[in-house]
Amino acid sequence: MFIGRKEELQHLQNIIKSNKSLIGIVYGRRRIGKSELIKKAFEKERVLIFEGIEGRSKQDQIDNFIFQLHHQSNKRIKDEKVKTWREAFMYLYEEMECNPGHIVFDEFQWMANYRKEIVADLKMVWELYISKIKGTTLILCGSIASFMINSVLKSSALFGRTDLVIHLKGFLLPDTRKMLTGKGDLEIIESQMILGGVPKYLDLVREKTSLYAGLEELAFSETGYLTDEYNRIFTSHFGKKPEYERIVRALAKYPYGLFRRQISEKAGVDLGGGLTKQLYNLESAGFISSCTPFHKGYNSRLLKYRLSDAYLRFYFSFIESNLKKIRSNIYKRLFSRIVQTGSFNAWMGRAFEYLCMEHAGKICSILGFSGIEFSFGPYFEAAGKNKSGVQVDLLFDRKDNVITLCEMKYSLTPVGMGIIKDVERKTEILKSKFKKKTIQKVLISRSSPTKDLAASGYFYRIIKPEELY
């Protein structure tokens, strides 16, 4: 079942229908739906799809390419071994010349063995030969974003020659809701909080009797798909480079994020150019994200990193620590016990804050200032010798001289007057820094406010999670 991705699908279909020889690049983390998007776009077209094999040599990749070419075209290759990509691509050209269509290279980074050589050879054969075949579309698809960006998109061979670039990300709530037809609002929201809008994961829980029952089977059983998913997705990206895992593990312990120097200290990674590259690669892959305070420029040195992949946050918090119990196959209904703990409730509270930050665009629409120019993000200060750090996760700095402060709560019990003290503390900090601005206070909460809080009029607006659809 293909859901969502209307804009991306339209872009792909447009270059297919253009009847020109064009190149497109599609990238995004594994399980995000790249292959399904491409199959949907080409469902009425003749297309040859070639997929790389993870962790195999250049010669193995070429052999696999020739094997796939033979079985998709019935083209017979000469008995001698094909040893170069240039030669392999010329066989592809001969097939396309006789039977025009479209070409997709899936998991392109594996085909390339993470090297640029294949890009130069492909560029030469494409420009001199294949692109002369009218209406041929070439799509390069990969799950290692840093390779697709630096070695393909920005390579000297293809720089400025690509006609479409799609960075595929996880679903937001509207598409998650379509994916989980029949589920209640609460289950849909919690699915987003725990699984992060990844289509493959949502598809796995869609047919289960409930989200929690699905997670019990998928993440807390010995053979569960999500039990070992960390090893599959992270190892395929950075398995041979242990410093990447140390960075991710360090960030997993600090849900409110770490500064670069703190990451270096806690992960045991040198504070230098190597760390810059490692953080860039992790962020490109969608595992972590960085942010500066909302009032600072994108190049501010006050940069904070956090673990942004929902599944990884869930894995490190609850699956990994229970792997021994899971694999013993003795403990039953393990997740049912976890959800009753205070640590799970606290984790869900932070996960809800992440969800609200991801839906900032919808929040500004609900509040009615989407037509006003604004910037948004967190506010934080680095802790110093004589001051403790402070952080407010979501603020909108508006051109009408208003700062909208969003307080986010995922409490099971009604939110009472006690919340005012916490919000006032944040408000006073903001007033001291932004004296000319009006501070508008908004509450986003799973539970309803108590009658006295509602009657107080303290919050300009109280938003329920289901309004984020």
- Kindly report the pTM of this predicted structure: 0.91
Let me know whether 181 and 131 are in one domain: no
Residues 75 and 34 placed together within one structural domain of the fold: yes
Q: Looking at the structure, tell me whether residues 208 and 292 fall in a common domain.
A: yes
Residue 287 has pLDDT above 60, yes or no: yes
Give me the chain's average pLDDT, please: 92
Residues 77 and 104 in one domain: yes
Span 156-198, pLDDT tens digits: 888 888 999 999 999 999 999 999 999 999 999 999 999 999 9
* 404 in Cβ contact with 369 (< 8 Å): yes
Q: Are residues 277 and 331 in the same domain?
A: yes
Domain stops at, among 333, 353, 373: 353
Q: Find the CATH number of the domain harbouring 292.
A: 1.10.10
What is the number of residues in the chain? 469
Structural domain harbouring 299: 175-353
- The answer to whether residue 1 is domain-embedded is no
Strands, E assignment, 120-224: 137-142, 164-167
Q: Are residues 144 and 255 in the same domain?
A: no
CB-count burial class (<10 Å; 0-12, 13-18, 19+) for 160 = exposed
Domain assignment of residue 247, yes or no: yes
Percent of the chain with pLDDT over 70: 97
Which of 117, 149, 167 is a domain's end point? 167
Interval 227-236 mean pLDDT: 87
Tokens of 116: 């640029």
Q: pLDDT by residue (tens digit) across 34-68?
A: 999 999 999 999 999 999 998 899 999 999 999 99
Structure confidence at residue 297 as a pLDDT band (50, 70, 90): confident
Mean pLDDT on 341-345: 95
Q: Does one domain contain both 348 and 366?
A: no
Q: Are residues 81 and 214 in the same domain?
A: no
Residues 201 and 162 in one domain: no
Q: What is the pLDDT of residue 301?
A: 82
- Cβ proximity of 286 and 307 under 8 Å: no
State how many domains the chain has. 3
pLDDT above 50: residue 386? no
Q: In terms of domains, do 154 and 82 share one?
A: yes
Query: 157 and 184 share a domain?
Result: no
At 250, give phi and psi (nearest 5°): -65, -45
User: 353, 381, 416: which is the final residue of a domain?
Assistant: 353
In this structure, the answer to whether residues 156 and 203 fall within a common structural domain is no
The CATH number that applies at residue 134 is 3.40.50.300
- Closest Cα partner for 296 from 380, 369, 358? 380
